[in-house]
């Protein structure tokens, strides 16, 4: 986005400067519009499941901002020669997730392309005072994470034929799960700092949260939830190119304690598709957030803390 003009306006609450999940435009005193778009190539063979995951991922950016998704538009690319039934299954998966989210599909646009792609532009609403951003974390806040890491490593292993989709049902189920309930808890508890974990991996998104809030993040690596199969694969250096690129970007930004092994660093930087929410929770509200997440049936872990300073310190615990 460098080289583009900077857009600013009194009603533009969140633009592109802070690398937030979505843009936010204030409509009235108590209504703000949230807009985001996400699309990508399939990471699983099952077309319906791919549609579900792509939609859950696109909706997640509205949830990460503390919003409620209202409407969505499909963005799709599909090879001319390919089976139209497959394409239909992708769109059906996406539509099912929108229905689950209570959002309406208004239409979309499809082009021909050699490699299939699918995703959505999603529009949501939130109260302007309840927007959750990368700049909203405070010193002392505890970091909560709601989905295990390792999705990029595991889908790379599927593509390499090292694992089958059948062996990864719980992982794929988690990727297709909406961040709806976790988002509702953030809003109910008045959380101000947070994001979702996607292409930059936990460390990349945590860095944006720390930088946006003018703070340092302390990450407790042993407490970070990880899909068990991903650990073995990371030890064997099975990881997507994005994990290595993320680690390279984080050089000088993330400081690793010597006990943090190479494969752990890879997992912490592994790009996630439709990852969980990362929330910065004020200490005095941690108990309330834990109780509400448990009631809502959302798995979570407390994985670190925001402190004064800058960058990320990755400690064992
Ligand atoms: Co996001
Ligand atoms: Co996104
Ligand atoms: Co058109």
Q: How confident is the model at residue 82 (pLDDT cuts 50, 70, 90)?
A: confident
Alpha carbons within 13 A on the beta-carbon side of 42: 25
Residue 34 Cα to ligand 3 midpoint, Å, equals 22
Residue 100 Cα to ligand 3 midpoint, Å, equals 26
pLDDT in tens, 215-249: 999 999 999 999 999 999 999 999 999 999 999 99
Is residue 284 classed as helix, strand or coil in its secondary structure?
helix
Angle at 14 between CA 305 and CA 214, to 5 degrees: 30
Angle at 203 between CA 197 and CA 208, to 5 degrees: 75
Alpha carbons within 13 A on the beta-carbon side of 62: 32
Query: In whole numbers, what is the pLDDT of the chain averaged over residues?
Result: 96
The continuous run of DSSP H or E covering 218 comes out as strand 216-220
Residue 73 Cα to ligand 3 midpoint, Å, equals 11
Question: Does the structure show a pLDDT above 70 at 308?
Answer: yes
Q: From CA 13, how far away is CA 111, in angstroms rounded? A: 33
Residue 258 Cα to ligand 2 midpoint, Å, equals 32
Q: How confident is the model at residue 4 (pLDDT cuts 50, 70, 90)?
A: confident
Alpha helix locations (H) across 14-112? 47-64, 84-101
Structure tokens, 37: 């778009």
Burial label, 58 (beta-carbon count in 10 A; 0-12, 13-18, 19+)? buried
- Quickly tell me which residue has 């646009």 as its tokens: 109
* Ligand at shortest distance from the CA of 120: 2
* Ligand at shortest distance from the CA of 37: 2
CB count in 10 Å sphere of residue 298: 21
* Ligand at shortest distance from the CA of 108: 3
pLDDT score, position 3: 82
pLDDT score, position 17: 83
Question: Does the structure show a pLDDT above 90 at 18?
Answer: no
Contact present, 155 and 54 (Cβ < 8 Å): no
Residue 197 Cα to ligand 2 midpoint, Å, equals 9
Instruction: Compare 222 and 3 and report the one with higher pLDDT.
Output: 222
pLDDT score, position 23: 96
């Amino acid at each position: 986005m460098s080289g583009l003009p900077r857009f600013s306006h009194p009603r533009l609450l969140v633009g592109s400067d802070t690398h937030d999940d979505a843009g936010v435009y204030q409509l009235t005193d108590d209504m703000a519009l949230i807009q985001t778009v996400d699309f990508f190539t399939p990471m699983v063979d099952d077309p319906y499941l791919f549609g579900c995951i792509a939609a859950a991922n696109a909706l997640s950016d509205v949830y990460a901002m503390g919003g409620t998704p209202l409407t969505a538009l499909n963005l799709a690319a599909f090879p001319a020669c390919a089976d139209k039934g497959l394409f239909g299954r992708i769109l059906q998966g996406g539509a099912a997730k929108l229905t689950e989210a209570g959002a309406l599909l208004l239409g979309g646009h499809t082009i021909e392309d050699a490699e299939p792609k699918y995703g959505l532009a999603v529009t949501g609403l939130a109260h302007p005072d309840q927007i959750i951003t990368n700049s909203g974390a405070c010193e002392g806040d505890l970091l909560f994470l709601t989905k295990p890491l390792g999705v990029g490593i595991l889908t790379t292993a599927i593509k390499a034929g090292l694992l089958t989709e059948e062996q990864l049902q719980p992982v794929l189920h988690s990727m297709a799960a909406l961040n709806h309930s976790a988002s509702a808890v953030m809003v109910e508890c008045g959380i101000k700092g947070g994001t979702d974990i996607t292409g930059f991996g936990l460390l990349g998104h945590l860095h944006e949260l720390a930088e946006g809030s003018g703070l340092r993040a302390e990450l407790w690596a042993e407490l970070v939830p990880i899909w068990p199969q991903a650990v073995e694969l990371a030890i064997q250096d099975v990881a997507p190119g994005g994990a290595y690129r993320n680690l390279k970007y984080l050089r000088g930004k993330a400081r690793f304690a010597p006990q943090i092994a190479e494969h752990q660093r890879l997992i912490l930087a592994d790009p996630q598709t439709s990852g969980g929410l990362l929330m910065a929770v004020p200490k005095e509200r941690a108990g309330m957030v834990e109780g509400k997440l448990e009631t809502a049936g959302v798995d979570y872990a407390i994985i670190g803390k925001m402190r004064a300073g800058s960058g990320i310190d990755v400690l064992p615990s």
